[in-house]
Amino acid sequence: MRNICFYFQIHLPFRLKRYRFFEIGKDHYYYDDFQTGDRIRNVVDQSYLNANRTIAEMIRSSNGKFRCAFSISGVTLEQLEQYAPEVIDSFKELSRTGSVEFLAEPYGHSLSSVYDASEFERQVKMHADKIEALFGKRPTALFNAELIYSDEIGELVSKMGYKTMITDEAKHILGWKSPNYVYNHSYIPKLKLLVRNQKLSDDIAFRFSATSLTADGFINRIAALPEEDRVINLGMGYEVFGITQPAYTGIFEFLKALPYYAMEQQMNFVLPSELSKKSESAGPLSVPYPISWVGNDKDLTPWTGNDLQQEALNKLYAVGERVRMCTDKPLLLDWLILQSTDHFRYMSHKDPYGTHYESAYEAFMNYMNVLADFLERVDAQYPTTIENEELNELLKTINHQENEIERLENEIKKLRARKAKKEE
């Protein structure tokens, strides 16, 4: 019996508006609502709604045998709530079938797993809360932004109580090993790792129309794998259905036909959490340096490869601790949105995927202007002259002052009572 595990990624960045340096300190709204809204409308109409309908029908017609997982970033959920609430409803419907799992990921689709561990923890928790609030079930598997994974991140994730994590097929990590097994963390055996099968995933995501792929052809490809390869992980962006592969290519029909051919060949669809529960690990995977799911090298260079990106990331994460002490709601939301990996991808000279800027420099200039204003606002909350630790103490004092006053008042009352007694 072979298991096919499908997961789809959904992330839409908030696009920054053109923000010039002379607006720093004057304008605190950073987003291009028109562009963001327009993009969402486009992707919702062409992809998400159709794909959700297709999947709902697949689940129905296969009697719940077709199962798949979604990883939707927190900022995307917020956008959808704001611009296209019908998509949220349609996901809720899917979740009620019980054949769909929602995965956890850092709320802001951020690189925090690499740059700021406590921020990562906070965001994953935030995201899990959001998922639970929307779909009624707390995630147990984690799909990090850009599928970034390393031993260190795995350890963090395991400490947060997650049992499954998804990672990508990187040649320098797997070596001769096949991605079609379940593995575990290099020194924490209870954290299971699911490895995305890059070739088969890309066959659908990028080569579907060019190679005129058919559903039975695709299932036959899986069937032709060695008998021992029990697990096929297929992960891709959800916009593959309808945008990367437009509807006229027949991608939706392809998807719809998959369960039929799969079941004919005795294949099962499973969810990531089920997979890690019922499969034995084939052994540990050691990943000393972070890997991602982009490019041939599978490293972090698309986001951190040049000086501009490094500079922006360092400036941003330098204030992490400080921002987490703030209580200003708009500031905290901006903090999340400014962390999206996309902003840094646009600053890449070699691979600025999805950029709307004319050059990496322009992306950097615009982002740094926004960041400068953001940092000023953080500064206005608490002046930089105070050290974080000192500030923490002060905040504690302020937050506890009511309890303190109450305690003292009680004491005064007691003393007064005692005094009155004595005088009697």
Partner 1 sequence: MFGWEFPPHILGGLGTASYGLTKGMSLQNDMEITFVIPKPHGDEDQSFLKIIGACNVPVVWKENDWNYVNDRIGSMMHPDEYFWLRNGIKYDYQRIYTNDLGCINFSGRYPDNLIEEISNYEAVASVLAHQLDFDIIHSHDWLTYPAGVFAKQISGKPLVIHVHATDFDRSRGQVNPTVYGIEKRGMDMADHIMTVSNLTRKIVIEKYHQDPRKVTTVHNAVEPLPNINSYTKSPRKDKVVTFLGRITMQKGPEYFVEAAYKVLQKTSGVRFVMAGSGDMMNAMIDLTAKRGIADRFHFTGFLKGKQVHEMLAESDVYIMPSVSEPFGISPLEAMQVGTPSIISKQSGCAEILTHAIKTDYWDIDAMADAIYAIVKNPAMYNSLKELGRDEVNNINWYDAGLKVRKIYESVM
What residue ranges bind partner 1 (CB under 8 A)?
A: 20-22, 24, 306-308, 310-312, 349, 358-359, 361-362, 364-365, 368-369
For the bound state, the minimum distance from the C-beta of residue 303 to partner 1, rounded and expressed in Å, comes to: 15
Q: Could you tell me if 168 and 194 are in contact, meaning their C-beta atoms sit under 8 angstroms apart? A: no
Please state the closest distance from residue 108 (CB atom) to partner 1, in A.
23
Residue 19's nearest CA partner among 343, 331, 413 is 343
Q: Cβ atoms within 10 A of the Cβ of 66, count?
A: 27
> Which residues make beta-bridge pairs with 234?
6
DSSP-assigned letter for residue 129: H
Output 242 or 352, the one with its CB closest to partner 1. Answer: 352
- Residue placing its CB nearer to partner 1 in the complex, 318 or 412: 318
Q: One-letter amino acid identity for 391? A: L
Element (H, E) at 7: strand 2-10
Neighbours of 289 (CB within 10 A): 11
User: Cβ of residue 338: shortest distance to partner 1, in angstroms?
Assistant: 17
What CA–CA distance (Å, rounded) separates 302 from 15? 18
Is the Cβ of residue 306 or residue 355 nearer to partner 1 in the bound state? 306
- Residues whose CB falls within 8 Å of the CB of residue 69, separated by 6 or more in sequence, listed in order: 5, 6, 7, 8, 100, 101, 102, 103, 141, 143, 271, 272
Calpha distance 183→195 (Å, rounded): 8
Q: Are strands 164-168 and 141-142 parallel, antiparallel or unpaired?
A: parallel
Smallest gap from residue 349 Cβ to partner 1 (A) = 7
Nearest-approach distance from CB 109 to partner 1, in angstroms? 23
- Tell me how far, at minimum, the Cβ of 314 lies from partner 1, in Å: 9
Tokens matching residue 140: 């147990």
Q: Which tokens is 397 given? A: 């004092």
Closer residue to partner 1, CB minimum distance, 22 or 176 = 22
For partner 1, give the closer residue by CB, 323 or 363.
363
* Shortest CB 316 distance to partner 1, Å: 13
Q: Are 323 and 331 in contact (CB under 8 A)?
A: yes
- Cα 52 vs. chain centroid, distance in angstroms? 19
**C-beta neighbour count of 76 within 10 angstroms:** 21
Nearest alpha-carbon partner for 151 in 15, 332, 286 = 286
Strand ranges, E, within 34-181: 68-72, 100-102, 141-142, 164-168
Nearer to partner 1, 128 or 319 (CB): 319
Nearest to 164 by CA among 188, 146, 200, 145: 188
Q: Which is nearer to partner 1, 155 or 362 (CB)?
A: 362
Choose between 191 and 375: whose C-beta lies nearer to partner 1: 375
Q: How far is the CB of 362 from partner 1 (least distance, A)?
A: 7
Q: How far is the CB of 15 from partner 1 (least distance, A)?
A: 18
**99 vs 369, which CB is nearer to partner 1?**
369
Cβ closest to partner 1, residue 102 vs residue 367: 367
Report CA 287 to chain centroid distance, whole Å.
20
Alpha helices in 143-189 (DSSP H): 151-159, 171-174
Least distance from C-beta 374 to partner 1, angstroms? 15
